[in-house]
């Protein structure tokens, strides 16, 4: 597709990985109507507001960056509604959107989706097995994130690769509780992003809701995890990101990925499982 949008800072030779630098709120406005098959968005959670967390066993301030500071409930809602509205316009009639978040932003995102006419399909709970302890001892340990999955409208006939997901879950229907470890060190070889998502999470999302050749968009691309998952499985990707350091990191990840990995989703899923019978089989294990 000829996308004359924003400033392209990286385009792969195969035309399957494009990075745009700029503000998603502005750039999304330049995309044509109905041009994207699937959106994954990991928007600001608006949680960098002076709280404390535990990093490497030590107390640290929660500060992901200026982009993650809350401007108050109303302004945060307007922000979420604005980009979600653009994404709905850009999605094809049968397209779907995934949005990750925590209690800080997910209710605002969900309400905006309902108001805009999306059809909510699932609220996936991503369970992190070994979360950092809660140092204040005044709350339960935060061990989950939510990923909302929605179709463009009530009328959408959305893509769900049910059989593939069932096969990946050892022949049982895959549930909405996903136990996935945080990104491994092998996923951070080219640098660190403060909120990088595990590739396994994005692979499951891409494989469950798209077909090879589909166009996937991530308006808050960060270190490009969505694009790596898309490229790994023969989907096309466009990522939007404000920060040039993260764009460079994404391009490096893509180049390493396309030189060292083969696209072979079925082979990966069919490999013999060392299964407990309790955990879903990872769709793809990054070689260590």
Q: Which of 152, 193, 232, 253 binds ligand SAM (CB under 6 A)?
A: 193
Span interacting with ligand SAM, options 47-55, 85-93, 188-196, 254-262, rule CB under 6 A: 188-196
CB of 85 to ligand SAM, least distance (A): 14
Enter the tokens of residue 217.
């968009």
Nearest to 167 by CA among 267, 262, 276: 267
Q: What string marks each residue from 2 to 41 as x (binds ligand SAM by CB under 6 A) or -?
A: ---------------------xxx----------------
Whose Cβ is closer to ligand SAM: residue 6's or residue 156's? 6
Position 200 contacts ligand SAM (CB under 6 A): no
Considering only residues 60 through 99, tell me which ones interact with ligand SAM, judged by CB under 6 A. 67
By the rule CB under 6 A, 110 interacts with ligand SAM: no
Helices 73-90, 106-116: axis angle to 10 degrees equals 50
Task: Output DSSP code: residue 52.
Answer: E
22 Rama sector, left if φ>0, alpha if ψ -120 to 50, beta otherwise: left
Residue 276, CA distances (Å) to 88, 107, 281 in order: 40, 34, 9
* Residue choice 6, 101, 110, 222 for contact with ligand SAM (CB under 6 A): 222
- Rule CB under 6 A: say whether 240 interacts with ligand SAM: yes
Distance in Å, CB of 148 to ligand SAM, minimum: 15
Specify the length of the chain in residues. Answer: 288
Nearer to ligand SAM, 242 or 273 (CB): 242
Minimum distance of ligand SAM from residue 28's CB (angstroms): 9
State the minimum distance, in angstroms, from the CB of residue 36 to ligand SAM: 16
47, 102 contact by CB (below 8 A): yes
User: How far is 278 from 261, CA to CA, in rounded Å?
Assistant: 28
Pairing of strands 119-127, 177-179: parallel
Among 88, 152, 197, 204, binds ligand SAM (CB under 6 A): 197
Q: How far apart are CA 63 and CA 120, in angstroms?
A: 31
* Burial environment of residue 238 by CB neighbours within 10 A (0 to 12, 13 to 18, 19 or more): buried
25 vs 135, beta carbon nearer ligand SAM: 25
Among 9, 54, 159, 242, binds ligand SAM (CB under 6 A): 242
Taking CB under 6 A as the criterion, the residue among 16, 37, 42, 214 binding ligand SAM is: 42
Distance CA 131, CA 127 (A): 9
Residues that bind ligand SAM (CB under 6 A): 23-25, 42, 44, 67, 193, 195-197, 220, 222-223, 225, 240-243, 246
């Amino acid at each position: 597709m000829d996308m004359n949008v924003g400033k392209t800072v990286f385009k792969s030779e195969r035309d399957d990985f494009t990075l745009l630098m700029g503000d998603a709120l502005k750039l999304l406005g330049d995309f044509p109507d109905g041009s994207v098959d699937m959106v994954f968005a990991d928007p600001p959670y608006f949680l960098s507001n002076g709280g404390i967390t535990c990093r490497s066993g030590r107390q640290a301030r929660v500060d992901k960056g200026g982009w993650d500071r809350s401007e108050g409930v109303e302004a945060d809602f307007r922000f979420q509604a604005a980009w979600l509205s653009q994404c709905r316009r850009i999605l094809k009639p049968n397209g779907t959107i995934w949005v990750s978040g925590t209690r800080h932003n997910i209710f605002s995102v969900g309400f905006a989706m309902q108001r805009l006419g999306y059809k909510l399909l699932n609220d996936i709970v991503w369970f992190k097995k070994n979360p950092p302890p809660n140092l204040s001892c005044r709350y339960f340990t935060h061990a989950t994130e939510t990923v909302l999955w929605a179709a463009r409208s009530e009328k959408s006939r959305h893509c769900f690769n049910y059989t593939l997901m069932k096969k990946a879950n050892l022949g049982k229907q895959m549930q909405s509780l996903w136990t996935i470890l945080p990104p491994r060190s092998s996923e951070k070889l080219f640098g660190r992003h403060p909120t990088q998502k595990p590739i396994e999470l994005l692979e499951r999302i891409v494989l469950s809701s798209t077909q090879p050749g589909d166009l996937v968009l991530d308006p808050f691309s960060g270190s490009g995890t969505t694009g790596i998952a898309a490229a790994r499985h023969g989907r096309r990707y466009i990522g939007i990101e404000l920060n040039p350091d993260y764009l460079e990191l994404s391009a490096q990840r893509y180049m390493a990925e396309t030189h060292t990995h083969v696209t072979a989703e079925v082979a990966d899923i069919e490999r013999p499982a060392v299964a407990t019978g309790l955990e879903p089989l990872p769709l793809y294990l990054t070689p260590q």
